[in-house]
Structure 1
Amino acid sequence: MANDSSHNAAANNVSLGDKVAFLSDSRAYAGFEGEVDVKETHMAWVFLTTDRVYKLKKPVEYNHRDCHFLRDRELLCHEEVRLNRRLAPEVYLGVAGLRLDDDGTLVLEEEGQEVDEQVVDWLVVMKRLPEHLMLDVALTQGTVTETRITLVAERLSDFYQGLEPVEMSAETYLDQFQRELEKNREVIEDTRFSVAREGVAFMLDRLDRLLEEEPELLGSRARQGRIVEGHGDLRPEHVCLSDPPVIIDCLEFSRPLRLVDPFDELRFLGLECERLGAAWIGECLVSECARRLQDRPDRRLLAFYTAYRACLRARLSLAHLLDPDPRTPDKWEPRAREYLALGLRACRDLD
């Protein structure tokens, strides 16, 4: 790792636009002559060649991590590789340095190659997965089968079984949900948005009341040692239906957000599949993982996790509109309403 002064001096001389322009050109990649597929996400720029993916983290500040500094982006790149190799060991190839050559031109080094000076940024390097095998794409194409989902459940069950339980008090576990529920309410009921209605208010109140009146429903999960350092962002676009299946893009920037009950994560994935018209996937995942993990969570606990995640996803959708210059602004309120409708449906099983 280069020293901070050389890191900062080099990095400050190259703008994000310059980096994106360079990495969007096929000449940046040795032996590649095709067109680079460029995608922007909330947190990164992603560059796809024929068989590889290069991810450049944006130099911005998030709730859980300040990425303005080069050393922090380097750390997060290495963390992303380390954590994701748990579920996709052959996909995450390493971290590559982007540096300035002696003549001032940008050069992308091979992953794992030591770069001592003139580093301007770091990129996660991944093997490119077949797009048609990603769960979200396969759902739109109607190619998902129960056999494939069972394999995903087996992969996740093996993953969870291999993790050490995290020591966490019931009070700490409950406090996390209480804080997030307060944030959910603050955004969802913001008068700048038009998603709150009587049913939504009922759902928010019902989730609050459950924590207050029945703390043991969730608290028992911590007491039983069910909390692990999981994936943290288990969504269809992160699941590849290969054989064996792989799961990518875990949440690398905040360990607290990775400390979860496996069935919270499973209900999150089930929620996203239900939004895409495949509610059966969530039921299959929970049933198979419950059998393999020898854990039968309460039906009402699963309903709470689903409704909670629905409200959280609605909040995060709306939060895009609070950015100074949101991308695809027309997308987020309808998306929030979809999540809230799914949350209301889950709430029926809380009584």
Structure 2
Amino acid sequence: MSQALIDALQAPTCYSHTTTGFTVRETHISWVILTGDYAYKIKKPVNLGFLDYSTLAQRRHFCEVEVSRNQHFNNHTYLEVVPISGSPEAPLVDDDSAPFEYAVKMRQFDDRNLLCQLQQRGELTTTHIEALVRQLAHAHQHAEKAPAESDAGSLEAIKAPVQNNFTQIAPLLEEEQDKQQLKLLETWAHDTADSLAERLNQRRVQGMICACHGDLHLSNAAATADQVMLFDCIEFNPSLYWIDPISDLAFLLMDLESRELHTLANVALNLYLELTGDYNGLALLPYYKSYRAMVRAKVSLLRLQEEGNLLDAEDRASILRQYRTYSALAEHYIDFHMPYLLVTHGVSGSGKSTLTRYVVEALGAIRIRSDVERKRLYGFAPNDASQSPLDSGIYTQEATAQTYDRLASLGTDCLKCAVPVIFDATGLKRSQRDQLRAVGEGLGVPVVIINMAASEATLRRRIVKRQTQGDQVAEADLTILERQLAAREPLEEDELQSTVHVDTDAPGASQTLVQLLKDHLHLEER
């Protein structure tokens, strides 16, 4: 395809709609022509091995796949595949009389709303990330499953792209220290994949492998008036998108962490797990995050080949610094960090969910909420109203016992993945606290009880406020609060030895709690 077509498409007469100006964006595999209300993406006639756009039939096919796949994640932006007829010098868009090219037609949006641009301006918020994760979780839960006869999700299919990174990076490294680090990462990746083989195969058998985004980072997400939209998912290579959803999530987490956005990464991980219940995938995160970091490291380093002699010494040094940033992050993911367990104690309205959320953001623990897991046991989503009266439905003594069993089981699995855990539960009975504390004690990790207290007036005010604001995660009302106050079993002497106390009426209670935990557990600053 000649440059003449791209030049000619920058004319209003090519389109049946009004245009307000033209801008061309070019990558190594496509052109995107911005016209005002609409953008048109045209694939370059290239064959790079991992993608083949060399024929018109191939380009049309992958345009159709791109629209179909992206509409699963974003049904507003991707509109249709349009033919281009006429000639390269005088093209007509959306004319099917004699197509010589095809384009993906999209609604145009402002690049300034890309999440990466918001982040650079210091405008990226928790609200943006939560909106993105909610859409991602929904897309994963409703995604097409990989065909049973395919090798998607097999150990070989998972290891192949990981190994390709190391194979392609190795010839580009000159410093011995870089080479040694690469060998360390390669050996770890190989050994870790083998150690995870049983879990990986189990997830494949369970149907976890599905059509994921495949390229999920902040440059492929943008804020709109009322949501965050995902776009530009991989369409050209099925092996890169028929993957475990945890691999998709890992790319987002790695991208946030590479930008030092650890709080947002903690929020993203916890919300995703809360929405999907996929705590089983937590064990895979270090492997997939390290892999995704090395993808970015490789992409950085490949510029040395692509731009060759055009790079001066300063450019080459900048590329190597970027490579080393990602490779250092990949190495960080393989380090072991001693986990710990936090067990909350406090009646409804005492501030457990608010304070534990702050702990999650600050320290990176995995929060497991009794309200959420109780509902999940009975087929409810976190924000569903169960309509269960007191002592019936999901609030019987049996349901409560099952809920604590589930908390203990999930907590055990998470701690075995070497991540800190915080149980967000009332823990009003000694037996309940003992059950949760035993999870950590059985694994030999530090256990701390967080005793949260507030005046009864505050407790009642918070519950009323929560109900009027429509918070349906926690369903306790004033009747339940009165019962809790009457029936709670106070902490005993042996429990108090490993307890931190927080007055949640006090200003700065969240910050106070985090500092108490750091002091008690001797946690280092990030």
Task: Classify the TM-score, shorter chain.
Answer: 0.7 to 0.9
Task: Answer yes or no: is 1:174 the counterpart of 2:158.
Answer: no
Q: Give the drift of 1:151.
A: 1.5
Q: Give the drift of 1:263.
A: 1.4
Aligned counterparts of 2:13 and 2:33: Cα–Cα separation in 1: 13
Note if contact 2:128-2:223 (Cα within 8 Å) is conserved in structure 1. yes
Task: Answer yes or no: is 1:208 the counterpart of 2:173.
Answer: no
Q: Counterpart amino acid of 1:190?
A: P
1:17-55 superposed Cα distances (whole Å, 9 cap, x missing partner): 111211244554455564411111121011112222111
Task: Answer yes or no: is 1:231 the counterpart of 2:213.
Answer: yes
Name the SS of the counterpart of 2:79 in structure 1.
Answer: strand
Aligned counterparts of 2:35 and 2:215: Cα–Cα separation in 1: 25
Residue 68 of structure 2 is matched in structure 1 by: 82
Aligned counterparts of 1:227 and 1:109: Cα–Cα separation in 2: 38
Q: CA, structure 1 residues 170+28, in 2 after alignment: closer, same or farther (shift >3 Å)?
A: closer
Task: Answer yes or no: is 1:61 the counterpart of 2:61.
Answer: no
Greater shift in the superposed pair: 211-220 or 157-166: 211-220
Greater shift in the superposed pair: 325-334 or 252-261: 325-334
Task: Answer yes or no: is 1:283 the counterpart of 2:269.
Answer: no
Greater shift in the superposed pair: 225-234 or 193-202: 193-202
Residue 12 of structure 1 is matched in structure 2 by: none
Aligned counterparts of 1:52 and 1:277: Cα–Cα separation in 2: 34
Aligned counterparts of 1:116 and 1:30: Cα–Cα separation in 2: 15
Q: Give the drift of 1:125.
A: 1.0
Note if contact 1:151-1:244 (Cα within 8 Å) is conserved in structure 2. yes
Q: CA, structure 1 residues 171+140, in 2 after alignment: closer, same or farther (shift >3 Å)?
A: closer
Note if contact 1:134-1:239 (Cα within 8 Å) is conserved in structure 2. yes
1:264-298 superposed Cα distances (whole Å, 9 cap, x missing partner): 11110121222233233332222111111111035
Which of the pair has more CA radius of gyration? 2
Task: Answer yes or no: is 1:344 the counterpart of 2:325.
Answer: no
Task: Answer yes or no: is 1:296 the counterpart of 2:283.
Answer: no
Q: How many residues align?
A: 331
Q: Give the drift of 1:57.
A: 0.5
Name the SS of the counterpart of 1:316 in structure 2.
Answer: helix
Q: CA, structure 1 residues 169+224, in 2 after alignment: closer, same or farther (shift >3 Å)?
A: farther
Greater shift in the superposed pair: 236-245 or 326-335: 326-335
Q: CA, structure 1 residues 333+34, in 2 after alignment: closer, same or farther (shift >3 Å)?
A: farther
Q: Counterpart amino acid of 2:206?
A: Q
Q: Give the drift of 1:142.
A: 1.3
User: Which of 158, 161, 177 does residue 138 from structure 2 map onto?
Assistant: 158
Greater shift in the superposed pair: 57-66 or 274-283: 274-283
Aligned counterparts of 1:171 and 1:147: Cα–Cα separation in 2: 34
Residue 313 of structure 1 is matched in structure 2 by: 296
Aligned counterparts of 1:65 and 1:151: Cα–Cα separation in 2: 31
Residue 85 of structure 2 is matched in structure 1 by: 99
Note if contact 2:153-2:243 (Cα within 8 Å) is conserved in structure 1. no
Note if contact 2:19-2:35 (Cα within 8 Å) is conserved in structure 1. no
Q: Which structure carries more relative contact order (alpha carbon 8 Å, separation 6+)? A: 1
1:313-343 superposed Cα distances (whole Å, 9 cap, x missing partner): 2223333444487987746443322221211
Residue 7 of structure 1 is matched in structure 2 by: none
Mapping 1:124-163, distance limit 5 Å: 124-163=104-143
Residue 4 of structure 2 is matched in structure 1 by: 18
Name the SS of the counterpart of 1:269 in structure 2.
Answer: helix
Aligned counterparts of 1:89 and 1:172: Cα–Cα separation in 2: 27
Q: CA, structure 1 residues 239+168, in 2 after alignment: closer, same or farther (shift >3 Å)?
A: farther
For structure 2, which runs of at least 5 residues remain unmatched after alignment? Answer: 337-416, 419-526
Name the SS of the counterpart of 2:214 in structure 1.
Answer: coil
Residue 222 of structure 2 is matched in structure 1 by: 240
For structure 1, which runs of at least 5 residues remain unmatched after alignment? Answer: 1-14
User: CA RMSD for the aligned pairs?
Assistant: 2.7
Q: Counterpart amino acid of 1:109?
A: V
Residue 8 of structure 1 is matched in structure 2 by: none
Note if contact 2:234-2:241 (Cα within 8 Å) is conserved in structure 1. yes
Q: Counterpart amino acid of 2:188?
A: R
Aligned counterparts of 1:318 and 1:156: Cα–Cα separation in 2: 29
Aligned counterparts of 2:159 and 2:243: Cα–Cα separation in 1: 15
Aligned counterparts of 1:254 and 1:325: Cα–Cα separation in 2: 27
Q: CA, structure 1 residues 326+144, in 2 after alignment: closer, same or farther (shift >3 Å)?
A: farther
TM-score by length of 1: 0.84
